[in-house]
Amino acid sequence: DTGKSGYEHYMLKEIHEQPTALRQTLSGRVNEQAGTVELEDLDGLAGREPAGVQLVACGTSYHAALYGARMLREQGIPATATIASEYALERPPVADQLVVGVTQSGETADTLSALRTAAQRGAETVAVTNVVGSTAARECDHALYIRAGPEIGVAATKTFSSQLVTLRLLTEHLTNGTTDGIHDRLATLRALPGALQEVLDETQAPAVAEEYVGADGYFFIGRGYNYPVSLEGALKFKEITYEHAEGFPAGELKHGTLALVTNETPVIATVTGNDEAARKTVGNVKEVEARDAPVIAVTDGQTDVARYADHVLEIPDSHPTTAPILANTQLQLFAYHMANELGRAIDKPRNLAKSVTVE
Ligand code: G6P
């Protein structure tokens, strides 16, 4: 079904398709009882842990790559995420590295170029992609499909969520049987589509977006896994609202951008769980609140961030690695409803293309 099924825009429809997309991403790949992840797409790689993983990507897919690299490192595999157009110029050493191109279309010229330079120098390559038979899928040694289904809106939504989950599966696959906490992580993946549905059903985003139309600028902050989510929140917001937005790690706020913070610059803080990253982000929220900036907290309520916020976009309790996917859904909806208030061309923003085939 490629019609809008009653939704005003493809983007909104695709945001709402995320629970289904994630079920497809997970289908048949997780053996909860054994505590393993099986990825047929990667036959031949199984059981061989690479010395390191280099992820290359552009745009939204780069944000997914940042999240994936963090997850791999957390589970003991050295990993980097690099903007594909920079990787292709820099040509880092690839001995014993698995080079993973994250590209929903499989056709982004910069990403193909990065993958080709890595392959020429002998790297084993994987395409994490949505499109069967795409150039990246054909050229790489392995194609790992995210199975999100067709995405029409130029602004990537369900493909981003499916990329995050696929990178979680890749991480588990590469470390099968060797890491603690696997049962918790797999159980939380199973619960994720339902939790995401809850976010969609109960979101406060339309009213909150309406409240902040026409501000001077919008800052998205978060730490840890919520750092890439904040980058993605700001990118999505810029793409479809044409308003200025910036996303960055919350700790960097005081190193410059704080100079721009006023009562006309809403700060959207993503704070999930109650770990060090969350507690430190609450500290940053207090700093902007003291400068009269309106604060919108995207949170599961495990810290007291709501005390310092003007509005809250709630998400259900989840695992540290899946909470950002739920938080990101609130940011997608916030951007969507703001763009709708502003009457923007949501499905086909000016100057942007779904897939960019020039370098
Ligand atoms: C274009 C799209 C972005 C996308 C980027 C990478 O710029 O407008 O939404 O994130 O390309 O696309 P890919 O297909 O490689 O994930």
11 vs 329: CA distance, rounded Å: 12
Q: What is the mean pLDDT of residues 203-210?
A: 98
pLDDT at 178 (0 to 100): 73
pLDDT at 177 (0 to 100): 65
Question: What is the residue with the minimal CA distance to atom 14 of ligand 1?
Answer: 105
The complex scores an ipTM of 0.97
Nearest to 204 by CA among 317, 293, 337, 323: 337
Residue 86 region, left (φ>0) first, then alpha (ψ -120 to 50), else beta?
A: alpha
CA of 62 to the centre of ligand 1 (A): 9
CA of 11 to the centre of ligand 1 (A): 15
pLDDT at 42 (0 to 100): 87
CA of 58 to the centre of ligand 1 (A): 6
Q: DSSP letter at 52?
A: E
Say what the pTM is.
0.97
Mean residue pLDDT across the chain = 95
CA of 234 to the centre of ligand 1 (A): 15
Active site residue 354: yes
Question: What is the residue with the minimal CA distance to atom 1 of ligand 1?
Answer: 355
The pLDDT tens digits for 109-133 are 999 999 999 999 999 999 999 999 9
Neighbours of 186 (CB within 10 A): 23
Q: How confident is the model at residue 2 (pLDDT cuts 50, 70, 90)?
A: low
Neighbours of 73 (CB within 10 A): 15
CA of 123 to the centre of ligand 1 (A): 24
Mutating to test ligand 1, I would choose from 10, 55, 56, 58 the residue with most ligand atoms within 8 A of its C-beta, which is 58
Q: How confident is the model at residue 47 (pLDDT cuts 50, 70, 90)?
A: low
Q: Side chain identity at 199, as an amino acid letter? A: V
Look at strands 311-314 and 295-299 and give their pairing.
parallel
pLDDT at 264 (0 to 100): 97
Question: What is the residue with the minimal CA distance to atom 2 of ligand 1?
Answer: 354
pLDDT at 356 (0 to 100): 93
Question: What is the residue with the minimal CA distance to atom 4 of ligand 1?
Answer: 59
18 vs 21: CA distance, rounded Å: 5
Question: Which residues have any ligand 1 atom within 6 Å of their CB?
Answer: 58-61, 103-105, 108, 111, 154, 156, 352-356
CA of 259 to the centre of ligand 1 (A): 31
The closest-lying atom of ligand 1 relative to the alpha carbon of residue 57 is: 15
Question: What is the residue with the minimal CA distance to atom 5 of ligand 1?
Answer: 59
The closest-lying atom of ligand 1 relative to the alpha carbon of residue 136 is: 15
The closest-lying atom of ligand 1 relative to the alpha carbon of residue 352 is: 8
Burial 224-253 (b: 16+ CB within 10 A, else e): bbbbbbbbbbbbbbbbbbebebbbbbbeeb
177 vs 93: CA distance, rounded Å: 29
Q: What is the mean pLDDT of residues 199-219?
A: 97
Q: How confident is the model at residue 43 (pLDDT cuts 50, 70, 90)?
A: confident
Q: What is the mean pLDDT of residues 320-344?
A: 97
In this model, does residue 46 exceed pLDDT 60? no
* Active-site annotation holder among 4, 280, 348, 354: 354
C-alpha distances in Å from residue 157, one per residue of 114, 187, 312, 345: 24, 23, 21, 16
Cβ neighbors of 170 (< 8 A, separation 6 or more) are 39, 42, 68, 100, 126, 128, 144
DSSP 93-112: --TTEEEEEE-SSS--HHHH
The pLDDT tens digits for 268-323 are 999 999 999 999 999 999 999 999 999 999 999 999 999 999 999 999 999 999 99
Mutating to test ligand 1, I would choose from 56, 61, 102, 140 the residue with most ligand atoms within 8 A of its C-beta, which is 61
35 vs 181: CA distance, rounded Å: 9
Look at strands 267-271 and 295-299 and give their pairing.
parallel
Mutating to test ligand 1, I would choose from 354, 357, 358, 359 the residue with most ligand atoms within 8 A of its C-beta, which is 354
pLDDT at 318 (0 to 100): 92
Question: What is the residue with the minimal CA distance to atom 11 of ligand 1?
Answer: 355
Q: How confident is the model at residue 179 (pLDDT cuts 50, 70, 90)?
A: confident
pLDDT at 44 (0 to 100): 75
C-alpha distances in Å from residue 9, one per residue of 3, 5, 262, 336: 10, 9, 33, 10
pLDDT at 48 (0 to 100): 65
